Amino acid sequence: RTPHGALLLLFILACLRGAYSGGGRSRFTSIISFGDSYADTGNLVMWADPVLPGLPLKNLPYGETFFGHPTGRATDGRLVLDFIAEALGLPSVPPYLAKGSNFSAGVNFAVVGAPALNLTYLQGLNLTVNPPINSSLHDQLAWFQKLKPSLCKGRYLQKGK
């Protein structure tokens, strides 16, 4: 895993290095995130209840050190996504399933335990998924397609842009 982690870190650093234009202003105005526990800012907790009641992510010590309260994240502190948002001068990215969230500066579709392939496909190959999270990358992309019209308003929808 070390070579993959090192490559990911180098990629992130390269992206952040190129994220700033003259004057120190970021060229990025939002973050759209997909993934699993490495990026989930709370979708599993909001999606799973009551499917998976009693998730420990809802309770301390998850979130205790940095946030001071449970966050629904699979960590006690911040995620790499939080550090990227901070480096770009953007707020923390809210989970897609958070009711009433403002997604103008980004949205997070990641779900703890989400595989890249659908659960039914994996089960068809007699592969065990534990816990059986039925939220794959395909589902996250479907959520994105559903939200996209509200994200792409104004000048970006004008002809020729």
Question: What is the share, in percent, of the chain residues with pLDDT greater than 90?
Answer: 19
* Strand runs labelled E in 10-155: 31-33, 106-108
Residue 159 lies in a domain: no
Q: Is 133 left (phi over 0), alpha (psi -120 to 50) or beta?
A: beta
pLDDT band at 157; cut points 50, 70, 90: very low
Under DSSP, the state recorded for 44 is H
Q: Supply the range of the domain harboring residue 61.
A: 27-151
Terminal-residue alpha carbon distance, the chain: 41
Residue 32 to residue 106: CA distance in whole angstroms = 5
How confident is the model at residue 146, as a pLDDT? 92
Residue 17 lies in a domain: no
Query: Are 43 and 97 within 8 A, CB to CB?
Result: yes
Residue 10 lies in a domain: no
pLDDT band at 130; cut points 50, 70, 90: low
Residue 16 lies in a domain: no
pLDDT band at 95; cut points 50, 70, 90: very high
Residue 107 to residue 95: CA distance in whole angstroms = 6
Residue 14 lies in a domain: no
Give me the number of domains the chain comprises: 1
Residue 3 lies in a domain: no
Residue 160 lies in a domain: no
Residue 41 lies in a domain: yes
